[in-house]
Chains A and B, each alone.
Chain A
Amino acid sequence: MLHVKDLTASIGGTPILKGLDLDIGEGEVHAIMGPNGSGKSTFAHTLAGRDGYEVGGTVTLDGVDLLEMTPEQRAAAGVFIGFQYPVEIPGVNNMYFLRTALNSVRRARGETEIGARDFLAVAYEAMDLVEMKRDFLNRSVNAGFSGGEKKRNEILQMAVMQPRLAVLDETDSGLDIDALRVVASGVNALRGPDRSMIVITHYQRLLEYIKPDFVHVLVDGRIVESGDHTLALRLEDEGYADFVNHGLDDVPGRPLSGAPR
């Protein structure tokens, strides 16, 4: 459902993604691991259409060219980013934000908007998934939230938006083990045949809770190794040093690997 081919991205002339290839099928969960600065977050933002990057290559979602679209159009097409650092929006009620978001994509898809009462039912169901108290809805978006609350709020938004493709950017960072478990069980509950996921993480820890179908190693803007979940375990033992030291540039002839199909 998602095809990424020879994706490049640079900021102010500095290349960050240097030809990334990735194919994701229906309902698959792919983990992307890599050292700091390898381009993991940039990949997420490039999929979302953040301003400020010069982007090349092709990305299609359900056969539609994503790179030509604005961020809001991509959201309507079903792209959702679970942010590493969710921003605070003081004075904007969390429920109002959520409903505006949902109705924005519904409008863009030509669907009818959802009323306040019906929305509440949707929101409550989603909140149970991430064990959130009801008063969460009446607080300002992320304002004064703890690190764990912010991440749970991201998963809540994902549950409400029901995306085609969810990209979770370092969702595990800054979470204690209890929060991690709550977030992971929320994500697992949202897995399904109609929803694919990209789980970006630095550590293997999250993957104990969210079992990926495939694991990719991103180094210096390219995917240098792909495998099943055992690859993550190997990385845990050996670290990234092997990949960093013997990256693509240094080892000619090493195959460019996409996801095994």
Chain B
Amino acid sequence: MGRLQSGGRINRDQKINFSFDGKPCVGYQGDTIASALLANGISTVGRSWKYHRPRGIVGDGAEEPNALFQIEDGAHTIPNVRGTQAEIYEGMVVKSTNAWPSLKFDLLSVNGLFARFLPAGFYYKTFMWPQKFWMAYEHMIRKASGLGESPRLPDQDHYEKTNAHCDVLVVGSGPAGLMAALTAGRAGARVILADEQAEFGGRLLSDRSQINGKPAAEWVSAVVAELSAMPDVTLVKRGTVFGYHDGNFATIAERLTDHLALADRTGPRERNWRVRAKQVVLATGAHERPIVFGNNDLPGVMLASAVSSYLNRYGVKPGQKAVVFANNENAYQTVLDLDDAGVTVAAVIDPRVRPRGPLVSEAGARNINIVPNTVVVEAKGWGKLSSVIAKSRDEGGKRVVHVFHKINCDLLAVSGGWNPAIHLLAQSGGKVSWDDNKHCFVPNVIVQPQVSVGAANGSFTLQQCLAEGMQGGLECAQAAGVKAEAIAIPETAEEDYLIEEMWRSPVGKKPWRGPKQFVDPQNDVGVSDIFLAAREGYHSIEHVKRYTALGFGTDQGKIGNIVGMAILAEALGKDIPSTGTTTFRPNYTPVSFGGIAGPEIKGTLFDPVRKTAMHTWHEENGALFENVGQWHRPWFYPKDGEDMHAAVNRECLATRNSVGIMDASTLGKIEVVGPDASEFLNRVYTNAWKKLGIDCARYGFMLGEDGMVMDDGVTVRLDEHRYFMHTTTGGAASVLSWLESWLQTEWPELEVYLTSVTDHWATAAVVGPNSHNVVSKVVQGIDFDKEAFPFMTSRRGSVELSDGSEVAVRVNRISFSGELAYEVNVSANYGRAVWEALMAAGEEYDITPYGTESMHVLRAEKGFVIVGQDTDGSVTPEDLGMQWIMSKTKDYLGRRSLARADSQREDRKQLVGLLTKDPQRVLPEGGQIVATPSGEIPIPMLGHVTSSYFSACLGHSIAMALVKGGRQRQGETVYVAMPNGEMIPAEIGSTVFYDPEGEKQNV
């Protein structure tokens, strides 16, 4: 192991210092963590999650199952980073994961000795009983398994999103992707080319192919230079296309700063691209797959293509003495790469009886020891590979015979062939079919405007990749409406993809005997686990996946899935196509939460906050706030030392005895305008509106078509064809949508216009016996005589502000407290000024600001309901005892439903008042109501408490409740069941606790 003297795409002039588990290491610019660790002689990089076996680097890209690291500490920490893709930077702190207490001394590797007792499904079998031990089990399992650690500190980085549109999105920049982008780009198409790597070129960066008689890298540079110069081509490197959704909508995670030293990072960490493409070229390449044999997880066992990558791209020797085990022609390139790099190739173990092809011939010509009709059955070594055991097969190739080869080596390059990366194709709704010659799934049916080219399409030779890329780029550009022409396909050497099917070595033993043969190393799933699942009756690949954990984890089975399906097919005696694949879902590789959340993740941008025009006054005067939807509303205004109870008692008494003031600006307000406005209100409210006089107000109920109360509020008629509707604070948006939908879809003949004016008006409710004195002092131009300005009417006036200017106001004499009250509405810009004028005028009456808590007490004392608190979507007006509000002479939304038998049941839950036997006791809202304090459990539930407060004004607690047949139960004692078993007795009575005749609001 170590660095080659020359070669590779690393910059040898730029040394980079980093640390691995605290040990200083040196790499070069262009290294990944994996290549740099191999160059530093480090092969064991982690422990497996179940058996805690030592694991090494297997791959060189997104498929890597083992080399997952924790990067950095504190706020910058990132778990489960794939070392095969992450670039190193100066000062990078890399730690192994999944080893406890340390990588070298892993207490839990003893699990490996008990492997036979930890089979597939062992959670379900072992840890389900007894249930009370589960917590203890879980604690140990978490400690023993788990991958990296989540950050515990707030994310210091910021993230951005960008929306993009293009004619052609090309995913992947290998030979096929580059040709596609070049063809479409030259035609003038708007192209986005995205690749997950730091450089464009894909597989060409890792091999030594020639294009047009020169190293492929030169061709790549020329193409990238040409594309960069095209104004309508966007190149996105370090950008993983991780999702492919309906409507040719693809998402790209572009990593902008992860490759830079912490101190050098500026700007956003990630950019999340949301791309709408007219056409998509999937040039996603392929993943090499291993052949499974005993102890195939030993560090030193790598994929053949990864070995070539480390040699050619990074100038690193992954070992000194190598064995290559492969069933295909393609892997012989690795044989030649090893030989050229000066690594001894001790043997090429090839299961094929007669390996052939130009690369095989070249290897043969170099006198490399090719052993045909032979398989590797076991890897040997303590902690890392030291030898392999190979066995010859009989002439039919069905079983091994006892011709035994033990070959010493520290590197085993394995290739079982290639799987096209069909992940995005499958995400987009495409289907695949099994190719019996190439032994892999290839794209078959597509449902979106796209094309798969090159290795992603099962075309594994360079010549095919270039030709299909060109064709794909051409067709997509044309389909996007761009006039495009074919371009010349570069010259390359003749090749062929020759492969013979092999998934696991015929080791000569039952799968559950002998050393463990791993299919999915990240999840420690072996051949025996798949056979076990099949024996236990799991025949669907989706079930086997969940029973064994095959294909879970950060790599989502990119190495093991197809192999596992093939082995399941073998265990079930079926073929691979009828065994099928699991579902490929987004995301292709893990994506950071920050990237998905984008800039909205930070602070106040996450959810809008709405504040009234008087908000600053409330803050200055000590209000505590509560959130009502997006609104911040004053909750109560504690004076020195007061708790909520004391503050609310004071506020309520001051309001009932003199005058209080409340900010009512948050109520929803909708202007309903047009010649048919009265007819419209008639249809959406339960009561009649046509005879309402101008400047008069009426309280209305809005029902859903199911007859259930949806919203309530007071509406004022401003003019013949103009109404001012109030909705609940929380219901404003949904009520507007509801009204719009009826106007547009069912009653287009009505000429009515709706405008949301919630934010245009600020509203101060002045409440209490002295409200008349306060408001009449401040507002000019209105006759406040009680005959001239009666209850439920509205008047226009003006207020002179402290600077002498005048502002128009509208005063509604309406009440949500049962007291004499005036609501002063003014253009929101003057909200605070008018509020302060009212406060000044009220000083002599000790005017007291109150918040939502006192508002609730005051309205409950009067039995006024709050929709959404005393109702829950299953309550009719009749259930609330409000038959009076329902017109009998016209139709309205929901009316027919009230005639249904269910709406007429006598035992429906009805709103009642509750008075506790202990007048000081305040019932818990939501408390369950039963008829008897004892009896057989379960005691039938009669209903629940909806509103409950202490009324300072009455000197006792009050509550409202929905109780089955409640109105028939007047005077009955019921019990509210407490969690501790206590039963609180309370008597059912009227919902109106205060001023039942309603004299106060009419003074």
Q: Are A and B co-members of a single complex?
A: no
Name B residues whose Cβ lies closer than 8 Å to a Cβ of A. Answer: none
Name A residues whose Cβ lies closer than 8 Å to a Cβ of B. Answer: none
